[in-house]
Chains A and B, each alone.
Chain A
């Protein structure tokens, strides 16, 4: 009696296992881009310029409605100095990703807390869309393009 009652439960481990593999497969592509984005934003939020530069390819470029910076050195000397103290990423949501050979990209939206020069937080957060392009260098993925839309 008890055995027959429990029999339907025997399917649960199978479902869990199936769910695990399905999730794992689904995340495999997503993680390779979304986690890279998070890694970069983590370094950004800490104002860890060295950490950010390690994630950037030497030929990376930065493009927003306000500025265009070619090359890691140029980015390091400009936007990575001025912007991380002002914008702190508090939320990111990937809406599309793709891995294509040695290229990968992530498209999403992000919300940043926005600070004035005196350190005071503005009431309205700053929302924008991002497109990040990654290039594989050996076994490592590097950020190749940082593109922002308001």
Chain B
């Protein structure tokens, strides 16, 4: 009886840790980290994750430089597009450069805060490029989106 309980816990532990290791890449965790700040509409936290010369490119706009992003898309978009979660398709890390390609699922809200569209209904493809600074910290260099 004790042995079977032990085996059950062992099996549970092994399966959970195995799942966790398989699902999370360095880039996926960097993407999720940025989206956590985005979902919280925390401009300061978003900015700390961006390189100073980062840029944002979507079919609708190009914003170059962290300061410009702060004044525009990082101000206007998080209140309207949030609860974002991502599914990474592809990850590559090489030296001080890394990128993540995947799909974003975000809920859309109107100006009054009413939910207008669920993330499953309208998804966006993303490509994020990261660079590592001399202190060893990874930051976002490029935010690219396809609708």
Q: Which residues of A contact B (CB under 8 A)?
A: 59, 61, 63-65, 68, 70, 95-96, 98, 100-103, 105, 107, 129, 131, 133, 135, 145, 147, 149-150
Contact = CB atoms under 8 A, between A and B. Distances in A.
Nearest to B53: A98
A33 to B, nearest CB: 14
Contacts of B59: 129, 149-150
Contact of B90 (A70, A95, A98, A101): A70
Interface size class of B (residues with CB under 8 A): 20 to 34
Interface of B: 53, 55, 57-59, 62, 64, 89-90, 92, 94-97, 99, 101, 125, 127, 129, 131, 141-142, 144, 146-147
A115 B92 CA distance: 35
Q: Is the interface of B mostly helix, strand, loop or mixed?
A: strand
B53 A149 contact: no
Contact of B57 (A65, A68, A101, A107): A107
B144 A68 contact: no
Given A96-B64, A135-B97, 9 more contacts: A63-B144, A68-B125, A95-B62, A98-B53, A100-B131, A129-B62, A145-B99, A147-B127, A149-B59
A149 B57 contact: yes
